[in-house]
Structure 1
Amino acid sequence: MAERAHKQREELDEMGELVVFPGAAAAPADEPGPVTPPPAAGPVQPAPEVLTGELITDAEYQRSKARKLAEQAVSKLPAKWQSAESAKQAGAALAGRAAALPFRYPAAVGRGAVVSARAWWSWVRVADFYDAAKSSDSLASRWQEIAVVRRRRGVVTVAGAGTTGLAGLVTELTVGSVPLLVAGGAVSLVLAAAGRRKDGSPGRQAVLGGSRSLAMLLDGDNLIEAFRAAGAIGKGDPLYFVERPRQDSTGWSMVLDLPPSRRASDVIAKREALASALAVDEVRLILERVRGDRGHAGRVALWIGHSDPYAADPVPSPLASAASWDLWRPVPFGATARGADVSLPVVWTSLLIGAIPRQGKTFVARLPLTAAALDPHVRLIIADGKGGKDFRPFEQVAHRSIRGSREADARRLIRVLEECAADVADRFDRLSEMDDELCPESKVTPEITRDPAHGMPLTVIGIDEVQNFLGMDVPLDEDNPKGKKVGQRICELLTFIAKTGPAAGYSLVLATQKPDAQVIPDGLRGQLGTRFALKVMTYQASETILGAGTYRAGMDASKLLTSHKGVGLLLGADGETELSAGDAVTVRTHLLHIAAIRAACERGRVLREQAGTLTGDAAGQNDLADLDPTVAARLAGEVTATATGPEPVDAELLPEVLELLADVLGDDEHGLVPVAELAARIEWTPKRLGEELRAAGVPSAGKRRVEGHPNPVAVVDVDAIRAALGG
């Protein structure tokens, strides 16, 4: 027994591999083992881990090795053979092609004959030489030469045709028809190959090129090639179907696992390149990560629409027919390209809406405000920076309403916001005194907001064209022209309410057609937890609305079509709502006409009258009470501290250029540095670095003379980069 075991061990040593199974049986008892010396005096050391092994025969070893090779081979096969279902689909596709072959083959031969005839005629007419001479204005001097070549090729054609006909006749008379049939079959195969249909074929025309089109085959081969062409996976990387491709009336959908070295977020960022590889517009392509227990960082859900999903008529909002609404419930907002309903939370967050003019921004802003109007326990405050009729229906229910953006309107808005800020501070004082059962988390609850005895209704402040108020460069104190401006004061108050108000039941809905960092500063924009970006002109404007880093993650509202009114990217950024904080959802918002809004506000007014909650301007109480001096002094300090205090920089939201520069800048490095030098450190081009720095808010220092460079070069201030990093 011992000799046999020793012999097997020598054979395995020669093969160079030992198959180890943790927990296998130990060596036989009659086999001698190493002698263990007695433990030395001193502390007992833990015994090292021992791997036990089982000796196997050569046949077993070969079988295990064959299994490994088979598993590796299967993992490298195309996606079509990775499951029984996909193999069945591939077989059905091949069977369909085989059944259609008798009908497709003659057509392909005919097309091939036409293509060959055109090619022959182009050769006989010396079309390439003729066109070249014509384009170079030398046709007159070359005409004799072209005519000679044409005659020669015509003679060759006639001689070749005669020779072929004579050879066929001789063959028929001497041998029979079999060689002619074989030759004819070979010629038909060549013609069929020349006339076959395929994506990207040039329309069977000599000059005009054809166009690429989507040929979504269930075997997955073209899908793999598209991912490789887009750079989403490597040349030798496979794809894995987690769920077989499904087709419905809207398009194709499937769930894919990427190779272990690839991340779903990287693929989503290459959405435009993948859409190009698939020959579809990017609005027809949706890529989403599969999260939770059913997904992982390398699993992506892919949907390809048969047509533009946003070209259909918009869906009417359910709010048009709702008798009332509970604002603690998310508001019906719109639908995705695949028809899934999307709801917008209003409580615990604030909303920023941005777009270029005439893209549906006002329509979108009125959706959550209409839901607030239908809830009798909600206090509504409206400020219309345009001064038109878009928000006039809300005056029936609004506690405070401001129409226009003149100086007097802006100063009234300041007083309204000061009243709100004082109410926020007062609410926190009272919430801190409530018992834990009524107020368990120092936040308002539905019971608190609906009980008139507490005086803490949910309050929604909607401001359209907010840039008209924030950009008002008028001195707040007329006696101090160089002091704080009206727009600065409004920004301070909005920042305070957006930062501290949600826990006290306050929400903001701000809409602007000028999404500019100078108009809406970071201190205010960073407190707005929900963002909705309709069509904008540049990716920088998209990042201003959605947040820094969203463009790099594949979220760009500048890619939306102008014809897609009411379509935008919805992103939750605060983690307090049901919206994803990492991925934006493309939403086609519901349509709610002003007539339906007016009817909804009429119903909301009746509900408020019945509940006794109609207050402020809607109830004829237009006068604003002066703040108590003590409250005003306390409020002034808190608002100023909140608006001017430093905000922590979220590393996850930093632009990519700042993340890379943070790793390569020295701690003691200051002053001006050539852009080319910084670009070399992060392996970028100077042009790209300059563009990305400007997009990240780092100004250029122009061209300067620096040490080591004889001529002026483009430079950047390292201290400005550190300021953008928040340090």
Structure 2
Amino acid sequence: MAQPTPQQNEELGALLPFPRGTLAEAVTVAAAEVEPTAPALDGELLTEDEYRRTRARRLAEQAVARLPAQWQTPESRREAGVALAGRVAVVPVRFPAAVGRGVAVSARAWWQWVRVADFYSAAKAVDRLADRWQEIAVIRRRRGVISVVSAGSALLGGTATELAAGSVPLLVAGGVLSAGFALVGRHKDGAGGRKTVMGGARTLAFTMGGDNLVEAFRAAGAIGKTEGLLFVQRPVNDRLGWTVVIDLPPSRKASDVIAKREALASALAVDEVRLILDRVRGDKGHAGRITLWVGHSDPYSAPPVPSPLATAASWDLWAPVPFGATARGTAVTLPVVWTSLLIGAIPRQGKTFVARLPITAAALDPHVRLIIADGKSGKDFKPFEQVAHRYIRGARESDGRRLIAVLEECAADVADRFDRLSDMDDDLCPESKVTPQITRDPAFGMPLTVIGIDEIQNYLGLDTPLDEDSPKGKRVGQRICELLTYIAKTGPAAGFSLILATQKPDAKVIPDGLRGQLGTRFALKTMTYQASETILGAGTYKAGMDSSRLLTSHKGVGLLLGADGETDLDAGVATTVRTHLLHIAQIRAACERGRALREEAGTLTGDAAGARDLAALDPDAVARLADEVQAVTDAPAVEPVDAELLPEVLALLANVLGDDEHGVVAVAELAERIDWTAKALGEALRRAGVPSAGKKRVTPGGAPVSVVDVSAIRTALGG
């Protein structure tokens, strides 16, 4: 473009409200001083008055932006003003205390100076105290004399001032000295026994700022030192805490950040119970997007929420049961149909209270058959005796044998239901599973059946011989475990659900064959991360799910995880839930309502109806049941592990290992299958806990190559 002539510049300069000069200078001035947000269209000429108003507004906005955060908006100014007024109101109380602290600090500093404490300590540290003792003594005497002379001079000067000029100079000097002592004795960071005071009210708004949050992620090792975060949404502050949606750098995964929750909580200076990290799934999320929530206070310190079951007239067990709420107040429900539940915790953490929630819902459904075995012999489950088809209280040998008979009755019923379901037409039974219509119609005789067993370890640990004539044969506890495993594996489709609770979550107590069939897990406070993994499943500790980190004071708080894909629970990340509270008096009233409903519907059966005798099983059914139970228990025990809980290398290898592949295989060959390098694969396998084969295989060319045992990989995969 041709440059304007001097004459054109002169003519345009007369029209523009800018200093005379070239057209380029005028345009530069206009571009620099008029913001895009100014109330003028691009290219519009401004009058002198409009320019001054725009410039004044811009300068005001810049001045506000330079203020501390708590003074930038009307709301924050109001809050800061209230805080400032509060601090001013307590000055008469806090000033004397600050003066007292200042006097104490000053006196301590003076005494350290007189005693030559620094010199003394240095000489003692290098074993030269004897050589320096004479010199230290001289300095101490000199400083003592200086102190006495200074104090005497101050006293004489004060007396002379009082006689010559009155008390006003002394009062002024005393005020200045008091202010100095108050300044020395003010609350300061790092001073022992002193409260930290920041410039302005300390709120989570300070912590949740963009720069501070990025620094926290870097300090926790969640992102690299040169990486940043992308805020998908602006931080939102509600009555419970801060919420922000973040996109991680392309090289980072949400699951890795979630596993670093404790480190991130430390970087944010909050307890981990106040920090919740959730991966954003579905169309609105991806593998690198997370929701971060930081509570204003401990979300589990408030009184527990009463269960809606306490006042429910009835309940349909096909609907999920009200279970509790998350730290953010989101309601959590527990599905009972199609799955079984394992609850584990150390004593006095609310395990029994939790187990009674779904069982109470079952008691309120007149079309549910309830079977209860209380291995603690207490009164915790006694109210259910009013509605239970079978009720066992105690874990003596006789109780264990009755439990076997009850479970054999249930197992035979499971097998019989499958026979009848297979003969039904597709409209009534479309998927070889019970339906609400089938379970509610007494003509079919297939009600939903819930088997609740508290302190399951007391039954599984019964070491009495099952056959008294064969003392070295199968034990009573083994038989109970076999039957529970069969029901847990095959029963959900036939309408059977297990609810097992234990205060001893140990792999020896609850074998893998049984534990692996329980699709829903709830872990309250445990002592070790190994006990947490026993409940939640293999791989959960590495994924950041550890119930041993829960606080003992948070009774009824635990990690809820779905492990079988049959329910709406997330199988990838456990949800921290504070369960509802349901007192035994409320449970007793609910059972009374449930009994009345059963009497009205004609579904009160078994022990609750006075029929304690068990019907003898058909010999053919007994033989078939024995074969089916044996087949289930002989099958290899596999602890289900969700692919998202596995280290990346194991998840990739799970897709390339053949079912019939055994023995050792070259690391380079496996690396080629997943498009990795042999070195990277070997290091990743070691981090995932896969041991080396301990030897190398020699290739036809004579070069040794590293190998790994396929069985070791399968063990790490949980199979």
Pairwise mapping of residues 232-381 of structure 1 onto structure 2 (< 5 A)? Answer: 232-381=222-371
Counterpart selection for 1:569 from 559, 564, 584: 559
Distance of 2:469 and 2:196 partners within structure 1: 69
Q: Does 1:652 align with 2:637?
A: no
Matched residue SS, 1:627: coil
Q: What is the CA RMSD across the aligned residues, in angstroms? A: 4.8
1:216 maps to a residue whose letter is L
Matched residue SS, 2:317: coil
Matched residue SS, 2:559: strand
Distance of 1:192 and 1:467 partners within structure 2: 64
Q: TM-score, normalised by structure 2?
A: 0.71
Q: Which residue of 1 aligns with 2:378?
A: 388
Contact 2:371 2:389 in 1 (8 A): yes
Counterpart selection for 1:429 from 419, 422, 431: 419
Distance of 2:225 and 2:498 partners within structure 1: 49
Q: Which residue of 1 aligns with 2:406?
A: 416
Deviation, structure 1 residue 249: 2.8
Deviation, structure 1 residue 97: 9.0
2:359 maps to a residue whose letter is L
Contact 1:658 1:721 in 2 (8 A): no
The worse-fitting range, judged by mean Cα deviation, of 609-618 and 231-240 is 231-240
Distance of 1:473 and 1:128 partners within structure 2: 71
Matched residue SS, 2:235: strand
The worse-fitting range, judged by mean Cα deviation, of 543-552 and 642-651 is 642-651
Contact 1:449 1:455 in 2 (8 A): yes
Q: TM-score, normalised by structure 1?
A: 0.70
Q: Does 1:406 align with 2:406?
A: no
2:274 maps to a residue whose letter is R
Deviation, structure 1 residue 282: 1.0
- Using a 3 Å threshold, how does the CA distance of structure 1 residues 151 and 661 change in structure 2: closer, same or farther? farther
Deviation, structure 1 residue 280: 1.4
- Using a 3 Å threshold, how does the CA distance of structure 1 residues 655 and 597 change in structure 2: closer, same or farther? same
Deviation, structure 1 residue 337: 1.1
Q: Does 1:224 align with 2:208?
A: no
Deviation, structure 1 residue 158: 13
Matched residue SS, 1:334: strand
The worse-fitting range, judged by mean Cα deviation, of 375-384 and 333-342 is 333-342
- Using a 3 Å threshold, how does the CA distance of structure 1 residues 90 and 414 change in structure 2: closer, same or farther? farther
Q: Does 1:202 align with 2:190?
A: yes
Contact 1:387 1:404 in 2 (8 A): yes
Contact 2:344 2:524 in 1 (8 A): yes
Contact 1:348 1:576 in 2 (8 A): yes
Distance of 1:100 and 1:569 partners within structure 2: 39
- Using a 3 Å threshold, how does the CA distance of structure 1 residues 252 and 724 change in structure 2: closer, same or farther? closer
1:264 maps to a residue whose letter is A
- Using a 3 Å threshold, how does the CA distance of structure 1 residues 650 and 97 change in structure 2: closer, same or farther? closer
Contact 1:352 1:532 in 2 (8 A): yes
Q: Does 1:594 align with 2:584?
A: yes
Distance of 1:194 and 1:685 partners within structure 2: 59
Provide Cα deviations, 1:497-547, integer angstroms capped at 9, x if missing partner.
Answer: 111111111100000011111111111111111100000000010000001
Deviation, structure 1 residue 558: 0.1
Contact 2:641 2:718 in 1 (8 A): no
Contact 1:532 1:546 in 2 (8 A): yes
Pairwise mapping of residues 475-624 of structure 1 onto structure 2 (< 5 A)? Answer: 475-624=465-614
Contact 1:353 1:545 in 2 (8 A): yes
Distance of 1:624 and 1:299 partners within structure 2: 56
Deviation, structure 1 residue 661: 13
2:388 maps to a residue whose letter is A
Provide Cα deviations, 1:14-42, integer angstroms capped at 9, x if missing partner.
Answer: xxxxxxxxxxxxxxxxxxxxxxxxxxxxx
Give the total of aligned pairs: 592
Deviation, structure 1 residue 550: 0.7
Distance of 2:555 and 2:79 partners within structure 1: 42
2:623 maps to a residue whose letter is A
Distance of 1:101 and 1:602 partners within structure 2: 59
Contact 2:539 2:641 in 1 (8 A): no
Matched residue SS, 2:352: helix
- Using a 3 Å threshold, how does the CA distance of structure 1 residues 373 and 135 change in structure 2: closer, same or farther? farther
Distance of 2:148 and 2:72 partners within structure 1: 48
The worse-fitting range, judged by mean Cα deviation, of 138-147 and 317-326 is 138-147
Contact 2:664 2:709 in 1 (8 A): no
Distance of 1:641 and 1:475 partners within structure 2: 22
Q: Sequence identity of aligned pairs in percent?
A: 73
Contact 2:313 2:364 in 1 (8 A): yes
Contact 2:383 2:588 in 1 (8 A): yes
- Using a 3 Å threshold, how does the CA distance of structure 1 residues 263 and 209 change in structure 2: closer, same or farther? farther
- Using a 3 Å threshold, how does the CA distance of structure 1 residues 609 and 651 change in structure 2: closer, same or farther? closer
- Using a 3 Å threshold, how does the CA distance of structure 1 residues 484 and 465 change in structure 2: closer, same or farther? same
- Provide structure 1 residue ranges, at least 5 long, that are not aligned to the other structure: 1-83, 160-190, 671-678, 705-715
- Provide structure 2 residue ranges, at least 5 long, that are not aligned to the other structure: 1-64, 150-180, 666-678, 695-707
Matched residue SS, 1:255: strand
Distance of 1:450 and 1:438 partners within structure 2: 13
Q: Which residue of 2 aligns with 1:174?
A: none
Distance of 1:480 and 1:428 partners within structure 2: 34
- Using a 3 Å threshold, how does the CA distance of structure 1 residues 680 and 118 change in structure 2: closer, same or farther? farther
Contact 2:650 2:713 in 1 (8 A): no
Q: Which residue of 2 aligns with 1:455?
A: 445
- Using a 3 Å threshold, how does the CA distance of structure 1 residues 567 and 276 change in structure 2: closer, same or farther? same
Provide Cα deviations, 1:170-206, integer angstroms capped at 9, x if missing partner.
Answer: xxxxxxxxxxxxxxxxxxxxx99999988xx213x6x
Deviation, structure 1 residue 144: 3.5
Contact 2:538 2:641 in 1 (8 A): no
Deviation, structure 1 residue 138: 8.4
Deviation, structure 1 residue 418: 0.8
Provide Cα deviations, 1:631-663, integer angstroms capped at 9, x if missing partner.
Answer: 111111111111221255657388659949989
1:652 maps to a residue whose letter is A
